[in-house]
Structure 1
Amino acid sequence: MYSVLPSFVLGFHGCDESVAEDVFSGRAELKFSDNDYDWLGNGIYFWENNPVRALEFAKQVKLFPQISRGKVKKAAVVGAIIDLGHCLNLLDSKFIEFLKFGYEVVAENIKQYDEPMPENTPVKRDGDLLIRRLDCAVVEAVHEKQDWLVEKGKADYKFDTTRGVFIEGKEIYPNSGFRDKNHIQICVRNPACIKGYFRVRSE
């Protein structure tokens, strides 16, 4: 009943300037990310209401070849108007329960095929857990289950988007519960939820 979030949000995608210009001109769309370490699963990633963080990421991504593949030469940001639609909203207690189920599915599959459990790991020692193979597997298990329920007529919808809080960075003061790179991220699985793109205006 409450999976639809009834408002538009602004999302910001950090990328290379050439990609941004192709999107603005209509020559291209932002591409799906399907890496096995994407923490919210497969889709198009945006920072919610945070163009500054999107630009920082685009500037810094070249420093992390494990996840960047050298794609950004000149940093830019694409703004998007997003209808979250049916959202796997990981700020909602109900959907946290979905993740627990997803983990059980992953653990059972790993046991059945005698494979190592995927892990969340830092890019560098003592860094943030940016390589999120476990989280990706869990979220994708949730989506696969929901898609199966829809196909069997046991659910009314597939999830259009996934939304979660990413705790990242250094404490902003001693013993702080806040980190300097905390943000909310959105992963769009259904491209129809992106209602339009725009250039970010300077302050």
Structure 2
Amino acid sequence: MYSDRSGLVLGFHGCDIELRDKVILGQEQLRKSTNSYDWLGHGIYFWENSPARALDFAEELQRNSKKRTQKISTPAVLGAVIDLKHCLDLTEFSNLQILKSGYETLKDLLETEGLQLPENLKIGKSNELLMRHLDCAVIETIHNNNEPSNRYDSVRGMFTEGEFPYPNAGFKEKNHVQICIRNPNCIKGFFLPRFNVKF
């Protein structure tokens, strides 16, 4: 009942400056991510209300460019005005119950076929579960069971990530809200983010 969103949110996508400019000029579209480890399932990803985190991510991609097919020569941020519409918001208690149910469905399906559940994995020296194979599979299972009658347009989740900013902190330096857009019609427009000026 409360999954349909009213109002608009701002999302920020970290990318190369060339892609940013082409999208703003209408010469190219953002592509849906379909990796098996996508944190919120398949779709177009944005950081909610955090252009600085989007830029940090693009800079991180540039530093690790040897591991990627899409190179970043100049990190940049693309802004988007987004209507989440029918949203699987994983910050809401009732939707976490849907997530649990999706896990049980996936588990039963794989057991029937004699297959193992995918796992979320840490990579390198990080303590974070950066490769979210299990989470992606659970969310995609939910989408597959809902379509087409109750299709989600977007998925939203909050993640704790990074180092602790001070001893005994309850927060981490890279905490963020991420949005995954499944329905590209949720994106109402793109813009070039501006930064604060003195007034």
Which TM class, normalised by the smaller chain length?
Answer: over 0.9
Q: 1:99 is paired with a residue of what secondary structure?
A: helix
Bigger mean CA offset, 62-71 vs 12-21: 62-71
Match status 1:183 vs 2:176: yes
Offset of residue 122 of structure 1: 1.5
Note the 1:30-109 alignment, pairs <5 A. 30-64=30-64, 68-109=68-109
Contact 1:171 1:179 in 2 (8 A): yes
**For the aligned residues, what is the CA RMSD?**
1.5
Deviation readout 1:72-110 (Å, 9 max, x if unpaired):
221111000000101001011111011001111121122
Indicate if the aligned counterparts of 1:62 and 1:70 stay in contact, CA closer than 8 A. Answer: no
Alpha-carbon distance between aligned partners in 1 of 2:64 and 2:104, rounded to the nearest angstrom: 31
> C-alpha deviations, 1:151-196, integer Å up to 9, x for none?
xxxxxx3111100001100111112110000000000000001000
How many residue pairs get aligned? The number is: 196
User: TM-score by structure 2 length?
Assistant: 0.93
| Equivalent residue letter for 1:101 | S
What corresponds to 1:154 in structure 2? none
TM-score, normalising length: structure 1: 0.91
Note the C-alpha offset of 1:129.
1.1
Aligned partners of 1:190 and 1:26: how far apart in 2? Answer: 18
Preserved CA contact (<8 Å) 2:90 2:156: yes
Structure 2 residue aligned with 1:153:
none
* CA distance in structure 2 between the aligned counterparts of 1:80 and 1:101, rounded to whole angstroms: 32
Change (3 A) 1:72 1:117: same
Q: Quote the Cα distance in structure 1 between the aligned partners of 2:184 and 2:126.
A: 36
AA of the residue aligned to 2:137:
A
Q: Distance in 1 between matches of 2:110 and 2:35?
A: 19
Instruction: Pick which of 61-70 and 9-18 moved more.
Output: 61-70
Q: Write out per-residue CA displacement over residues 95-148 of structure 1, whole angstroms, 9 at most, x where no aligned residue.
A: 101100111112112212222321111121343111100000001111111115
CA distance in 2, matches of 1:110, 1:64: 34
